Amino acid sequence: MIVGILKEIKSEENRVAMTPSGVEVMTANGHTLLVEQNAGVGSGFSDAMYVEAGAEIVATPAEVFDRSDMVMHVKEPQPSEYAMVKKDQIVFTYMHFAADEELTRDFLKTDSVAIAYETIEDTSGGLPLLTPMSEVAGRMSVQEAAKYLERVHGGRGILLGGVTGVPPATVVVIGGGIVGTNAAQMACGLGAKVYLLDMNLDRLRHLGEVMPKNCFPMMSSPATVRELIREADVVVGAVLIPGAKAPKLITREMLGTMKPGAVIVDVAIDQGGCFETSKPTTHGDPIYEVDGIIHYCVANMPGAVPITSTIALTNATLPYAVEIANKGWKQACRDNDGIKLGLNMANGKITYKGVSDAFGLAYTPADDLLK
């Protein structure tokens, strides 16, 4: 198979879909790798490194799309790329269709095969291609919150961990999954008082056993959220419904009960956000204020640390890319239920129910296209 690695064009996105070591593995499996010129520069990988690993450097994205059987991105294709996507071409990337109706409807028209990183599952029901970026985003959420708590940025003007004789900040993390756990670990490590909310008692028991003593796992409920945000200096939204829109857990009205200058970080923004007042921002213009509350809603947080993120992403995606390239998408889906769950669109049909439900569009079970 001819596999194309595209340069990211989303604002301030410096990751790349595959490292040179990943290219070496793909070529060893008999595949031809086309890498767009300078695709890896933001992550510290030169064109020469890709050539040494066995790739061919291609000058334009149009040529990558035109020559490839499968193309790989990090973020969802941008509008300027839609016309380049070929019928039956495999597009393997983070898609987040359920958060973007325009992208969903436009991509259906390409008649391509969209396999989304974020809905592939492993045998335990985990999300192996979302996990590494969730780890990065969770850790970054607290790093960024600590910065924007500073008065110079409009924050409350407090240090997350406090100092001798001065109490630490209170951090509320909503969601005890990968993002939330990593956020809580970082906040605890900096000395904050941390409340970690989840709705699964078994998960809460586990978190109670493994988290530091300044982390307090609690059962999440609307009443608990309303109560805790009153004392919060930082709120991290880390709620995920795989492949579907995130629920809105904090309303605009609730912002009025929070401390002026508090910071909320919406890590779920690429799935629509879990705060009513959230809207996507960029690394160049990451924050805005609503009713005295600082909002940080960057949709591609891991793009700010591309060396860490690209290596972590390739570690996770490479085995799936190899399997899809070795077998073709249909056989890979037949053999691997996890990849089948990653199939969001094919032949102009939506094959992931969370996406069809988000916009009231027709749903076609993936099995119907694999016969």
Confidence tier at 10 by pLDDT (50, 70, 90): confident
Give dist(CA 342, CA 129) in Å, integer: 10
Non-local (6+) Cβ contacts of 165 within 8 A are: none
State yes or no: 25 annotated in a binding site.
no
If we measure between CA atoms, which residue out of 128, 112, 134 comes closest to residue 351? 112
Distances (CA, A) of 6 to 62, 66, 202, 239, 358: 10, 12, 41, 30, 28
Same domain assignment for residues 213 and 236 = yes
Of the candidates 236, 265, 296, which is a domain's last residue? 296
Does 240 count as an annotated binding residue?
yes
Are residues 12 and 1 in contact, defined by beta-carbon separation less than 8 angstroms? no
Average pLDDT over residues 234-241: 93
How many Å apart are CA 15 and CA 117, to the nearest integer? 15
Q: Is 88 annotated as a binding residue?
A: no
> Does residue 246 sit in the same domain as residue 329?
no
Catalytic residue among 31, 100, 270, 295: 270
Average pLDDT of the residues in 120-139: 94
357 given a catalytic annotation: no
Range name among 74-78, 93-97, 229-233, 239-243 with the lowest pLDDT average: 239-243
**Do residues 80 and 224 both lie within one domain?**
no
Q: Residues 264-312: pLDDT tens digits?
A: 999 999 888 999 999 999 999 999 999 999 999 999 899 999 999 999 9
Instruction: Give the number of residues written for the chain.
Output: 371
Mean pLDDT of 21-45: 97
Confirm or deny that 268 is annotated as ligand binding: yes
Is 13 assigned to a binding site? no
Q: Are residues 39 and 116 in the same domain?
A: yes
Q: Is 298 annotated as contributing to ligand binding?
A: yes
Ligand-binding annotation for 301, yes or no, is: yes
Stretch 231-240: mean pLDDT, rounded?
96
Q: For tokens 């509350």, name the residue.
A: 293
pLDDT-derived band at 150, boundaries 50, 70, 90: very high
What's residue 270's pLDDT?
86
Q: Which of 275, 296, 317 is the endpoint of a domain?
A: 296
| Segments forming the whole domain that contains residue 142 | 134-296
**124-151 mean pLDDT:** 96
- Same domain, yes or no, for 147 and 280? yes
Task: State yes or no: 144 annotated in a binding site.
Answer: no
300 is in an annotated binding site: yes
Last residue of a domain, one of 241, 272, 296: 296
Share of the chain above pLDDT 90, in %: 94
* Residue 267 is assigned to a ligand binding site: yes
End-to-end CA separation in angstroms for the chain: 22
Which segments of the chain does DSSP mark as H helices, in order?
20-28, 47-53, 61-67, 79-82, 101-108, 131-148, 178-189, 201-210, 222-229, 252-255, 306-327, 329-335, 337-342, 353-359, 366-369
Residues 265 and 353 reside in one and the same domain: no
Q: Residues 273, 311: one domain?
A: no
Statement to judge: residues 273 and 202 lie in one domain: yes
Q: What is the DSSP letter of 163?
A: B
For position 22, which CATH number holds?
A: 3.40.50.720
270 in catalytic set: yes
Judgement on whether residues 212 and 319 belong to the same structural domain of the protein: no
- Is there a binding annotation on residue 323? yes
pLDDT at 258: 98
Name the average pLDDT for the chain: 96
Question: Does residue 254 share a domain with residue 158?
Answer: yes
How many structural domains compose the chain?
2
Is 102 found in the same domain as 57?
A: yes
Say which of 31, 96, 100, 266 is annotated catalytic. Answer: 96
User: pLDDT per residue over 48-68, tens digit each?
Assistant: 999 999 999 999 999 999 999
Please tell me whether residues 26 and 122 are part of one structural domain: yes
Is the per-residue pLDDT at 242 higher than 80? no
Q: Give me the pLDDT at residue 72, please.
A: 98
Contact 238, 268 (CB under 8 A): yes
Antiparallel, parallel or unpaired: β 343-346 and 113-116:
antiparallel
